[in-house]
A and B are shown apart, each in its own frame.
Chain A
Amino acid sequence: MGKADKKYAISLSFQEISLPSVEDILVLGKASTQGKNGLAKTFEYLVPDTFVMVEIDDHPNVEAIFINKRILSKISVDQVQRILADKVYPFTSPQEILKVDFKVVVHYETIEID
């Protein structure tokens, strides 16, 4: 078949993305091929001073988590860890890297003013 006989169909689309794709929290599995140091460096290059790495020593599957500092201005690292340990770690396999959407809404029921 000659070159002139060929027809090409091209499917094309595009959309904006932002890097890194993680906005809130990233959970890194112990056996993931990416390691905590490499990921920390990636965050440092792409979004300097935005994420905090917390090493997890007491979980069999989770090596570290990366938390957006914006979250930590509202609740503590310990509180975040407790929530993740309860709701996310049970579903994390050692090979995985999980992106966690973690929105904090602060709501006051009653505000008393003098």
Chain B
Amino acid sequence: MNIAPLVQSDVKRVSPYASSGSLRPHLLVHTAVALMEEEIFVGVLSFKDLTIKNKVLAIDCLTPKPSIDCHTSLETAIGLMQEHQKEVLPVLAANRFVGILTKTVLVSALSRQGIDVGAVFDQMGISPSEQPPTLQALTTFALHQNQLLRTVAHDIRSPLARVSALIELSALTTDAAQKETYFQLMQENIKRTFLMLDDLYQVSGRGDLSVPIKSVSLRLSEVLTELTAHYQLDASQKGIHFFWDIEECNDTVTLDKFQFIRALDNLVSNAFKFTPAGKRVFLRLYMDQDQQLTVAIQDEGIGIPPDSLPKLFIPFSGTNREGTHGERSVGLGLSITKQILDQLQIKITIESQEGKGTQVYLRMGAGTPAYQRMA
């Protein structure tokens, strides 16, 4: 059998000199785009290419991919994909671009044909660790991808909501300095969204949602102070009173700043979500009596039912509820947060009383990798 029936021809065609930023949203959803210069095929660009190359123009992000034609056999095609480590190949006919072939579609077709994919690779001398997944593995992978999609939806909501609010606020003010502040905040939120998407792309090929950690030494008080402007904005949108108390203490830590912010964002946005207008939310940094550097998020919200407390970190456990203003809840936020904090080796404790509020504590004890006491 050849690959002809598996070729995907409805591929978006774009100029090779299109900006990679403009293609990023499309490539998050679709496998690839075809770069065409005046009807001449230049190459097929995937999201992986964008992430690896990270250049301004699409053409500079291209990585070489062997082309195939419609008469290519399934076995040859999968061999080429493995050899060149590509998940998509361009399909040409008489040097004209006709479409793409993706690895997922190809492996699925091989399995449906009853072809022993493992045996094909053995014949090619490809070791089991280098072989593409079986149909069963693909099904598991699809479930994982589905979970990942939900994670994306969950995590990018906060920065996008902020950008939306900032656009409205900047339209309402005539003060140039104030506008400039809003634009800076917008830029930070957009940058964080892109970083998040890049991270999520990196974890998309793996079997779990662990994120790559790039730790640096930093002052936690500075990170929190930086974030208060964002949180103030979130609070004002909902009519909540937001207070912060960042104590002068020995707060130098070794952390992945971006991942820590991602976890803290989830916790603070939960506090805002479940606190009615007119009530208070507190963010504090202090050294507790056991000499543990502690970040506390405390709210006067609706609290958590006692039977939900043990299940908070389990994804889709059914503990998710609507926010006090009808905000949607996916049921993933705390499980993502816990996973990130575990990777950062930060201990999280949640205490709550229904009708009174919730207290979340992030503790970094002396001697843990996150917290390194400075002499």
* Contact surface of A with B, Cβ cutoff 8 Å: 31-38, 41
For A41, the chain B residues whose CB sits under 8 A away are: 17
Q: Is B54 an interface residue (CB 8 A)?
A: yes
Interface string of B57-83 (1 = CB under 8 A from A): 101110000000000000000000000
What CA separation (Å) do A33 and B55 show in the bound complex?
A: 4
B side interface size, CB within 8 A = 10
What CA separation (Å) do A41 and B57 show in the bound complex?
A: 11
Q: Is B56 an interface residue (CB 8 A)?
A: yes
Once the chains bind, are B56 and A35 in contact (CB under 8 Å)?
yes
A38 nearest in chain B by CB position: B57
For B60, the chain A residues whose CB sits under 8 A away are: 34-38
Once the chains bind, are A35 and B61 in contact (CB under 8 Å)?
yes
What CA separation (Å) do A38 and B17 show in the bound complex?
A: 7
Q: Is B90 an interface residue (CB 8 A)?
A: no
What CA separation (Å) do A31 and B55 show in the bound complex?
A: 8
A36 nearest in chain B by CB position: B60
| A33-B59 CB under 8 A given contacts A38-B17, A41-B17 | no
Q: List residues 16-51 of chain B with CB under 8 A from any CB of chain A.
A: 16-17
Q: Is B53 an interface residue (CB 8 A)?
A: yes
CB distance from A65 to the nearest CB of B (A): 16
Once the chains bind, are A35 and B17 in contact (CB under 8 Å)?
no
What CA separation (Å) do A4 and B308 show in the bound complex?
A: 61
Beyond contacts A34-B55, A35-B53: 6 other A-B pairs, Cβ-Cβ < 8 A, are A34-B60, A35-B57, A37-B16, A38-B17, A38-B56, A38-B57
What CA separation (Å) do A64 and B61 show in the bound complex?
A: 15
Q: List 28 A-B contacts (CB under 8 A).
A: A31-B54, A32-B55, A33-B54, A33-B55, A33-B56, A34-B55, A34-B56, A34-B57, A34-B60, A35-B53, A35-B55, A35-B56, A35-B57, A35-B59, A35-B60, A35-B61, A36-B60, A37-B16, A37-B57, A37-B59, A37-B60, A38-B17, A38-B55, A38-B56, A38-B57, A38-B59, A38-B60, A41-B17
